[in-house]
Structure 1
Amino acid sequence: MAKEAEVFGSLSFLSQLRYRHLVAGVAGGVTATLLTHPFDLIKLRLAVQDGKGTGERTSYRGPIHAFRSILREEGVRQLYRGASANVAGSGASWGLYFFFYNAMKFSLQEGDIDVSLSALHHLMCAVFAGALTLTVTNPIWVVKTRMCLVSSPSLPRHMRYRGLRDGLANLWRHEGLRGMYTGYVPGLIGTSHGAIQFMVYEELKKFYCHHYNLPLSTQLSPLHYIAMAASSKVVAVTATYPYQVIRARLQDQEQRYSGLRDTIWRTYRHEGVRGFYKGITANLAKVVPAVSITFVVYENVSAALR
C-alpha cells in the first residue's frame, strides 16, 4: 500500500493531470444537464417538502402532479428555473471529477492506461476526486438549489436570486463563507455516491474487456457505455439517495434546521423512512439518462482528444 499512500497522501498525482478529461467531462456534464434539468427541479421541490406543509409553496403529490402544477401555475419557462447554475455546477463538477479521478488513476497505473486496477483503487480515486470537486463547486450548488425552489414573497430581496452571478454575490455578501458551504458535510458524505458509481462503472468495463480479451483502453460502442453508466447510477442512487434530501433541506432558505442531526431527526419524525426517499422517482428519471449521456459524450470526446 506504499504506492497508494504516496499518491493519496501528497499532490504527486497533479503531475498526471490530463486536460482532455476536463474538457470531455465538462462537455458531457453540460450536454446532459441541458437535456434533463426539469427532472432535477422537480426532484428538488419534492425533496424539501417536509411533511408538515410547505407554507406559501404549492404542495406536490408526486412527480407528475409537480410537473403539471408547474406548467399550469408558473409556465413552461419555470421548468428551467435555476438552469444556469445547474449547467455551471454540473459542467464544473463532471469536468473536475474526471480531471482529478483520472489523474490519480493514471498515477496508480504508472502511466499505462491498460493496467488493471482493483475495485478498492477505483473507490479510493473516486472518493478523493469527489471531495476535491465538492470543495470547489459547493457554492454553485447552494445557489442552484435555492434558484430551483419557489421563493415566498416575504423573503428579503437578497434571498431571491436573479441568476448564478447574483446568487453567488448575495450569498457571499450576506452569509459569508458559512453560507457558501451550507450542506457541505452531507455533500462530503455524498461523495460515496460518486465513488460507488465510478467503482461499479469501472468494474463493469473491466469485466467486459477481460471477458472478450480486449485492452482496457478499447473504445466501446455508445450502447455499451449507456448500459454500464445506467447500471452503475441505479446502484449508486439506491444506496445514497437520503443524503441528497438532507442536503437540499439544509440549503433551503425557508426551512430552518439547526444542523445535520436536526434535519435527520425531524425528517424521520414527521415522515419516517419514506421521507428520505422523496423525489427519488423524479431523480432516477433524470439521472439515469443524464449519466448515460454524460459518459457517452465523455468517452467519445476523451477518445477524440487522446
Structure 2
Amino acid sequence: MTDTAAPKASTSFLPAKSWQHFVAGGLGGMCGAIVTSPFDVVKTRLQSSLFREKHTTMSMAETGHILRDIYREESPRALFKGLGPTLVGVVPARSINFFTYGNGKQVIANNFNDGRENTWVHLTAAAIAGIVTGTATNPIWVVKTRLQLESGARTALGGSWATITTIMREEGVRGFYKGLSASYLGVTEGTIQWVLYERLKRLTAGTEGKGGALEWVGMLGSAGTAKCVASLITYPHEVIRTRLRQPKVNGVMKYTGLWQTLRLIIAEEGARRLYGGLSAHLMRVVPNAAVMYSIYEGILRWESK
C-alpha cells in the first residue's frame, strides 16, 4: 500500500481553504443531479412496491419504456418530479460530504498518521462524511421520495410544501427520518466509492498535469468505475430505504423497520426485488458521479492556481 503525503497542517484545525471542498462539492452535485434527474424518477418507482404491478422487470429496455410512459401519460415535467427537493438536498448533501471528507482525510492524516494519507485514512474519513451527510439531509430525501411516488404533476414548490405538511400532520417529526437506518447502512457505499476512487485516481496520476483529453478521461473513468462498483455491492439498501420512505396506504404504514422491510420484501417478492430499479440507478449514478467528481476536481485545481 503506497502512502501519499498530506498537505502540511495549518495553525487552525481545518486545512487552509477548506471552504473549496464545500463549494466544489455543491456545484458538482447540482450539475450531476439536473442531468440525470429522469433516471432518478424511474429508479424510485422501480424500487417502490406502489408501482410493482405496472413495472415488473429491471432491464434497460424497461427503463426506456418507463421514461416513455411518464413522458406520454404524465407530461415531460413529470420526468423531473422531485428535482426541487433533490437540488435542495443534493447541494448541501454534496457540499457537506465533500467538505467533511476532503478536510477530514487531511485532519486524520495530520493528527493520527504522521501527515500521510493511506487507505485507512480514506476509509475513516469517508465513513464519517457519510454519517454526517445522511443525518443532516434525511428529511429532504423523504420529501423527494414521496413526491416521486405520486402520479400526475404538481409544481415543485407547491408539491414539496404540501408533502411536508402532510408528513408533519400524519407522522410527526419522526416521519422525516424514515429510512435513516438504511441510510446509515448505505454509508458503506460512500465509503467504498471514496476509497476506490482514491486508488483509481492514483493509478491514473501519471496523466495529471498533462492536460488534454487523457487526463479528464482518467478522472471520469475513476469516478464512474468507483460509483458503479460501490452501487453493485450495496444496492439493496437503496430499495429498503425507498420502501421505508413510502407514504401510508389506506392509513397503514407497511414498512416499519430495516429488518422488517428486508424480510417482507424477500417473503412477498423474492430476493431479486432487492435489485429493482438497478439499471435505472446505474444509468443515473455513473454519469452523475463522473460529472460531479470532474467538476469537483476541476474547481479545486482552478482555485489552487
What's the TM-score, normalizing by structure 2? 0.82
Change (3 A) 1:102 1:30: same
Q: Which of 267, 270, 277 matches 2:268?
A: 270
Spell out, residue by residue over 1:248-282, the C-alpha distance to the aligned partner (whole angstroms, 9 max, x if none).
00101145213222211111112222110000000
- Does structure 2 conserve the Cα–Cα contact (< 8 Å) formed by 1:85 and 1:163? no
SS of equivalent residue, structure 2 residue 14 = helix
Q: Does the alignment pair 1:205 with 2:204? A: no
| Cα shift at 1:208 | 3.0
Aligned counterpart, 2:101: 101
Deviations 1:137-162 (A, max 9, x none): 0000000101111259xxxxxxx983
String of CA shifts for 1:67-111, please: whole Å, max 9, x gaps: 122112101110011110111111111111000011211113339
3-state SS, counterpart of residue 202 of structure 1: helix
Q: 1:208 to 1:92 in 2, by over 3 A?
A: same
What is residue 253 of structure 1 aligned with on the other side? 247
**Structure 2 match to 1:185:** 181
Partners of 1:161 and 1:167 in 2: how far apart?
A: 10
Is 1:194–2:193 an aligned residue pair? no
1:297 alignment partner in structure 2: 295
Instruction: Give the conservation status (yes or no) of the 8 Å contact 1:140–1:164.
Output: no
Q: Does structure 1 retain, via aligned residues, the 8 Å contact 2:208–2:215? A: no
**Structure 2 stretches of 5 or more lacking a match?**
1-11
The 1:164–1:301 alpha-carbon spacing in structure 2 relative to 1, beyond 3 Å, is farther
Letter in 1 for 2:109: Q
Q: Could you say if the C-alpha distance between residues 176 and 305 of structure 1 is closer, same or farther in structure 2, counting changes exceeding 3 Å?
A: farther
- One-letter code aligned to 2:179: G
Matched, 1:76 2:76: yes
Q: How far is 1:180 from its partner? A: 1.2
Task: Judge conservation of contact 1:60–1:66 (CA < 8 Å) in 2.
Answer: no
Alignment CA distance shift 1:278-1:236 (3 Å): same
Q: Percent identity?
A: 33
2:226 aligns to what? 232
Deviation at 1:174, TM superposition (A): 3.9
Deviations 1:45-66 (A, max 9, x none): 000037974xxxx546431221
Which residue among 277, 280, 286 is the counterpart of 2:278?
280
Across the aligned residues of Structure 1 and Structure 2, the Cα RMSD in angstroms comes to 2.6
1:131-190, CA deviations, whole angstroms, 9 ceiling, x for partnerless residues? 0011110000000101111259xxxxxxx9834344345434542221111100010110
Shift of the 304–146 alpha-carbon distance from structure 1 to 2, 3 Å rule, reads: same
* Matched position secondary structure for 1:20: helix
In the aligned structure 1, how far is the partner of 2:166 from the partner of 2:24? 31
* Of 87-96 and 122-131, the range deviating more from structure 2: 87-96
TM, length-normalised to structure 1:
0.82
Kept in 2: contact 1:38–1:79 (CA 8 A): yes
Residue pairs, 1:74-223, within 5 angstroms: 74-110=74-110, 116-150=116-150, 162-209=158-205, 212=206, 221-223=215-217
Aligned pairs, number: 275
2:294 and 2:107 map into 1 onto residues whose CA distance is 24
| Change over 3 Å in CA distance of 1:222–1:247 after alignment to 2 | same
Structure 1 stretch 238-247 or stretch 90-99: which is displaced more? 90-99
> Structure 1 138/14 Cα, relative in aligned 2: closer, same or farther at 3 Å?
farther
What is the SS of the residue equivalent to 1:258?
A: coil
Cα distance, 1:299–1:49 mapped onto 2, change above 3 Å: same
